[in-house]
Amino acid sequence: MSEPLLTLDQLAIGYDGHVVLSGISLVISRGSFTALLGANGTGKSTLLKTILGLQPAVAGRIELHAAPGRALIFGYVPQATQFDPLYPLTGFDVALMGAYGRVGPGRWPGRGERDFVRDCLQATGAAGFADRKFSQLSGGQKQRVLIARALAARPDILVLDEPTAGVDVKATRVLLEFITQIHQERSLTVLLVTHDLPLVRKHAQRILWLHDGRALHGTVAELFTPERMAEIFEVEAG
Amino acid sequence: METLKEILAPDFLLRNSVYTSVLVGFACPLVGVFLVLRRLVFMGVALPQVSSTGVAVALSLPVWLHLGAAPHGSNGQTGHLLALAGSTLFTLLAILSLAFMERRGRGLPEGRLGTVYVVATAASILLLSKNRVAEAGWLDLLKGEIITISDFDLKLTAIALALVLCVLGWFHKEILFVSFDRSMAATLGKKVVFWDAALYLLIGLTVSIAVLSVGPLIAFGFLLIPALTAHLFARTMRQFVIGASLLGGLTSFLGFWLAYSADLPVGPTDVVLLGAVYLICGVLNRVLIGWKSIQRL
């Protein structure tokens, strides 16, 4: 097995002491593509926030296997719909925020950082509309800018929270192809939250499936069997 | 034009009032843009009122303690510093409590702000009704009559607002980042609670100084209306912040000129002028959008 990047050990997640999901154990290896699946309300977002350190775990632990002397860097790609359109920011302004983790308080990203952000926008195909107002971009264009921002953070792991929400079918396909491409080209670890089964089947290597208070995990081949699917969807196999 | 020359003359009797009004006009919109972006407009209404209650309480203290009155205005620096302390303390307590409750996500934020506003207003009126010091200038302050500003008041206002300007300019990146995307900022190691608190402190200090210098009416007007007006046309944060600040500063000067020329109270003149500019810009913006749509067809 390849080098672990993130380990969840008997993790219990929830809010204010109320457990939403427990007994989650999983190892995410460096360079892997893992999909986090589950219907609405199963705890996907809560698990994601807990992994990102945005809220504490109720029980269990999360081990981050960063290189010695540095913290593990998450390239977080939130849903594009969550941003307030009031902010007069261009796509470039938003992408530049990815570099802020390396720039101390009171200082501004230098030319090198700005050039790197432009490279990230180029890589995600967002350079053409980066000077337009972020709030006026389409769902797919916003996602490309947000992925560029995540890449600008020079992440160890790219974490995408339902990147295809609010994006049309064609743009969804293009976006997922692109994520797969950067995963392969840069050997970048990817954790993708979605409820789109066909996309997961095509792109992901491993799956963490949250269902009915349980967390099932395995490879695509292990989980996409008729028996498992029947169990999850509560229908008879065959 | 004669009036304008008179106002700009270095020996103009009310020069401190002009300078203070313009300083507040430039500075208030700088924090106002964050109130607008964070959708905390109602906080911009409630805080100046809380701040003026703090002034009333602080200036009542010597009377309650039988130490003699410490009136606002020309009667010395002690009264002004006491008022500043009361104003700042009340504003910071209010803003931090409201922010804490906002973070807990319980209850109705508009309801809390409305209650704070109305209770603060009522408390100010009660304090005024029971204190003879009110006659020495509080009512003028509450109405926005900027006529008795001493050199000390002006210096204090200038220093405090310069501090706000420096901190906001220096840490604009951090404050904008945690305002726009808390989650991403947190994952990149930014101390979001610290930067939130820093912004609230800056808002609190600006509101306190503005209320003490020009009263709650003008403070509220300059906190929000220039920012809302500039937002109509701004395509970048830089345009938004600079546009709002310039609009606030210029309008405060024009308002003073108008009020002085027509013998009107300065505060209400400033605010009505700001409202008129907002209305005209709003109509102009709609016309421009309509014109662009027609051109595209």
The predicted structure's pLDDT at residue A185: 82
Best B170, B181, B296 residue to mutate vs chain A (most A CBs within 10 Å): B181
Band the pLDDT of A139: cuts 50, 70, 90. Answer: confident
Q: Which residue of A has its CA nearest to B36?
A: A86
Name which of A91-95, A166-170, B234-238 the model is least confident about: A166-170
**What's the pLDDT score for residue B74?**
43
Which residues 6+ apart lie within 8 Å of B154 measured at CB? B16, B19, B20
The two tokens of residue B168 are 């906001």
pLDDT at residue B232 in the model: 95
DSSP B216-237: HHHHHHHHHHHHHHHHTT-SSH
pLDDT of A76 above 90: yes
Report pLDDT for B147.
64
CA distances from B79 to A45, A144, B206 (A): 54, 57, 19
Residue A192 forms contact with B (CB below 8 Å): no
For B184-237, what is each residue's pLDDT tens digit?
A: 999 999 999 899 989 988 998 898 888 888 888 888 899 999 999 999 999 899
Selecting from A78, A93, A100 the residue whose C-beta is nearest the C-beta of B188 gives A100
**Mean residue pLDDT across chain B:** 85
Least confident of B72-86, B182-196, B280-294: B72-86
CB contact residues (below 8 A), chain A span 88-117, against chain B: 88-90, 93-94, 97-98, 100-101, 103, 105-108
Count of residues for chain A? 238
Judge if ipTM > 0.90: no
The radius of gyration computed from the CA coordinates of chain A, to the nearest angstrom, equals 18
- Hey, is the C-beta of A213 within 8 angstroms of any chain B C-beta? no
Q: How many CB pairs under 8 A join A and B?
A: 74
Give yes or no for a contact between A157 and A74, defined as CB atoms under 8 angstroms apart.
yes
Higher pLDDT, B260 or B240: B240
Query: What is residue B143's predicted lDDT score, i.e. its pLDDT?
Result: 58
pLDDT class of B73 with cuts at 50, 70, 90: very low
The answer to whether A71 faces chain B, any CB pair under 8 Å, is: yes
Interface of B with A (CB under 8 A): 36-37, 39, 170-171, 173-174, 177, 179-181, 183-190, 231, 234-237, 239-240
- Spatial separation of the C-alpha atoms in residues B79 and B87, rounded to whole Å: 12
Select from B39, B174, B188 the Cβ nearest to the Cβ of A105.
Answer: B174
Whole-number pLDDT of residue B129: 78
Angstrom distance (rounded) from CA B28 to CA B223: 5
> What's the pLDDT tens digit per position in B31-43?
999 999 998 888 8
Nearest CA in chain B to A88: B236
- Identify the pLDDT of residue B134: 55
**Which residues of A are less than 8 Å from B34 in CB distance?**
none
Distances (CA, A) of A100 to A81, A83, B46: 22, 18, 34
pLDDT of A196 over the 80 cut? no
Q: 3-state DSSP call for residue B14?
A: coil
**Tens of pLDDT, residues B130-150:** 776 555 556 666 655 566 677
Residues of B within 8 A of A81 (CB-CB) are: none
From B195, which residue of chain A is nearest by alpha-carbon distance? A105
Question: Distances in Å between the alpha carbon of A12 and those of A28, A61, A77, A213, B17?
Answer: 17, 8, 24, 11, 61
